[in-house]
Amino acid sequence: MRLLLKRRYTPRQTLGRLYLGSRLLCCIREAPKSCYSPHRHCIDEGVYELEPRHTEDRGWEIRVGENAIIRHIQPDHLPDTAEMGPFTEFNADGKPTFTRLAFQKLLEELGELWERGEVVEMQVVGMGIPYSIEPCQIPNFS
């Protein structure tokens, strides 16, 4: 099974929507793209395998590839490098809402797939950068 994460990049954070087929599962908050913030940045675009993980200190998380995680992130906390935080929507103050609920629903949805023995992958695609910053431009080699 493959999920699709469609992102938009901004200087403060990367925002995306996670889909299973045409159905929206949740929204995702990440750190900015590396050209905006080289010390705290989101994962690269690509395809990653997802697996559940439990630790005593953090509880349940979803491992994304080898180095990233999806986990509950408090609304007032900014995601760190390779950290993805699900949420439902933004409130009037611009803070994400229902972060814990969004993570629990995502974990339940994916848990059913893992219980059936399915391999779950997530494809990450970007919607482009709203304005041009030289380090963010991709060279054209044609």
Q: Highest mean pLDDT: which of 12-16, 92-96, 106-110? A: 106-110
* Averaged pLDDT score across all residues of the chain: 86
pTM above 0.75, yes or no: yes
* Cα gap 87→94, rounded to integer Å: 12
Residue 131's pLDDT band (cuts 50, 70, 90): low
Is 70 exceeded by the pLDDT of residue 14?
yes
What's the domain range around 24?
A: 2-131
Give the SS3 label for residue 107.
Answer: helix
pLDDT, tens only, 43-52: 999 999 999 9
* Number of domains composing the chain: 1
Residue 142 inside a domain? The answer is: no
Q: What is the CATH number of the domain that holds 73?
A: 2.40.440
